[in-house]
Chain A
Amino acid sequence: MRSKDVTEAAIDVLRRAETTLPSWVVERIRDAASLETNPVARSQLDAILENITVAKEGKIPICQDTGLAIFHLEVGRNSHIDFDLKEAIAEGVRLATETVPLRPNAVDPLTRKNTGDNTGPGMPDLILDLVEGDHIRITAFPKGAGSENMGFLGMLNPADDPFEFVLNGVAERAAKACPPVFVGVGIGGTFDLAARLAKKALLKMPGTSAQEAELLAQINDLGVGPMGLGGDTTALGVRIEMASCHTASLPVAVNFQCWANRSASAIVGGNGWNID
């Protein structure tokens, strides 16, 4: 595998993620717009659909908040990587910032000084999974601050109701997360694993279980509506990921994604890279 191919693939997945949405996401927004009964809410969903078209046709970022550079890497256990994988992706982020273009969003957390190229300590953030095979599947998952800022985590008492905790938090925070939102829920694990499960739940969206469907219906009953202005459509999807936890613990985390559930993937192998 070559470093150059990883860099090129990183630029490509960022460009596609920023300018187009996965078709199932657009379908969900379209379905919601056709069912929405609140006229203000419908106007917001119609604007969102028009915006998606304008961005796709103009090949420009859907949202000015082009997010932090987050990548999910599914690394084949037989793949041969003899270069700095993180640096190869960081180089792709720097080049994409110039060419897509992306807004420089990465700053020092204390001085607030912008690095200018969307990279820096800890950025890009790589979520790694080992899988079968001899290639790497690289998924860009740029994350804007509007939705990310509304996330929450609780170390509950095992006697507490985790779904009540999730629903209360969503009721309080969804309006500012650029709804209609996607809700990633992590239950179990540890303090940090619950948060990572919540983010992985967003990556694995949409959910399909009865439990997820029930939580989605309860969230939509909140009436927060698109952009918090009221309406039938507060969430477009819910996914729950779980892990074993300590017998004395019940960690629960929620990670929001805005309606612009941006992601795009490519496969990098020994002979180059391809769109996935």
Chain B
Amino acid sequence: MLGQQERFCNRGGERMEHRLKTPLSKEDVASLRAGDLVWITGTIYTARDEVHAHHRSCGNLPVDLEGAVLYHCGPLIKDGLVISAGPTTSSRVARYTKDVVDRGVRAMIGKGGISEAVEDLRGKAVYLAYPGGCGALAAKTLQVKGIHLEDLGMAEALWVLEAKDFGPMIVAIDSFGKDLYEEAKRSSKRAKGNAIA
């Protein structure tokens, strides 16, 4: 049964490229399959531990989350310029995924995956992987548009960034439940060895 769904999701292994504009539509999300490449143009919001905790305790954020793209990132900003802005480890905020997806967030960008929250994404949102540590490269396509919750500090504040062809990102978890991180774990020689043992 799973095999059939995987074949459908893979479109026979073909990897597609998507250039998307924010806010994302439901159709945008449905068009993305694990392994596809994505570039994003438009507004994206940085959100990591403190912004997610703030959202949970207040039930609100000072930006519209309908169709929004959240970037798990604590950027390095100087004099209003994005100096370096790669992704942070997403698993720290995996526990908040349902909160933001229920408010309309349709994509999260990060590194390391949120395998804990695959079911929270199903039918609603995707997880996009930007190469971890590549902050200098990412900064080339990002500009500061604004800041909210500034008192949380540079890394934890909610930065409003304008992205221009930000990517390529890999659809690492799609809205059909396919998760490249879990696949990598399952495919390891060690995992196979353990299964036999």
Contact = CB atoms under 8 A, between A and B. Distances in A.
Nearest to A260: B133
Interface string B128-149: 0101111111111000000000
B170 A229 contact: yes
Interface of B: 35, 50, 73-76, 78, 83-86, 88-89, 91, 111-113, 129, 131-140, 153-155, 168, 170, 172, 180-181, 183-185, 187-190
Contact of B155 (A103, A146, A167): A103
B133 A48 contact: yes
Contact of A63 (B84, B155, B172, B181): B84
Interface residues of A, number: 49
Contact of A229 (B84, B91, B181, B190): B181
A82 B73 CA distance: 43
Interface in A60-117: 60-66, 101-105, 107, 112, 114, 116
Contact of A62 (B136, B140, B188): B136
Contacts of A178: 89, 111-112, 132-133
B136 A223 contact: no
B136 A55 contact: yes
A112 B76 CA distance: 18
Q: Which 10 A-B pairs have the closest CB atoms?
A: A230-B184, A223-B188, A55-B136, A64-B135, A51-B134, A176-B112, A51-B137, A64-B84, A114-B153, A178-B132
B50 to A, nearest CB: 7
Contacts of B111: 146, 176, 178, 227
Contacts of B134: 47-48, 50-51, 63
Given A43-B170, A48-B133, A175 B78 contact: no
Interface string A31-43: 0000000001001
Contact of B135 (A61, A227, A228): A61
Interface of B is mostly: mixed
A67 B177 CA distance: 34
Contacts of A62: 84, 133, 135-136
25 contacts: A40-B35, A40-B170, A43-B170, A54-B136, A54-B137, A55-B84, A62-B84, A64-B84, A64-B139, A65-B135, A101-B76, A102-B76, A103-B75, A114-B155, A146-B88, A146-B112, A171-B190, A175-B181, A178-B112, A223-B190, A227-B111, A228-B184, A229-B181, A258-B133, A259-B133
A61 B78 CA distance: 12
A188 B43 CA distance: 51
A61 B84 contact: yes
A63 B133 contact: yes
B112 A227 contact: yes
Contact of A66 (B73, B76, B131, B190): B76
Contacts of A175: 112-113, 181, 184-185
Nearest to A226: B131
Given A102-B76, A178-B133, A258-B132, A63 B86 contact: yes
B154 A104 contact: yes
Contact of A61 (B136, B172, B187): B136
Contacts of A114: 153-155
Contacts of A146: 88-89, 111-112, 132-133
Nearest to B85: A64
A250 B28 CA distance: 53
Nearest to B183: A230
Contacts of A258: 132-133
A149 B133 contact: no
Given A47-B134, A61-B84, A146-B111, A229 B180 contact: yes
A228 B88 contact: no
A64 B76 contact: yes
Interface string A225-253: 11111110000000000000000000000
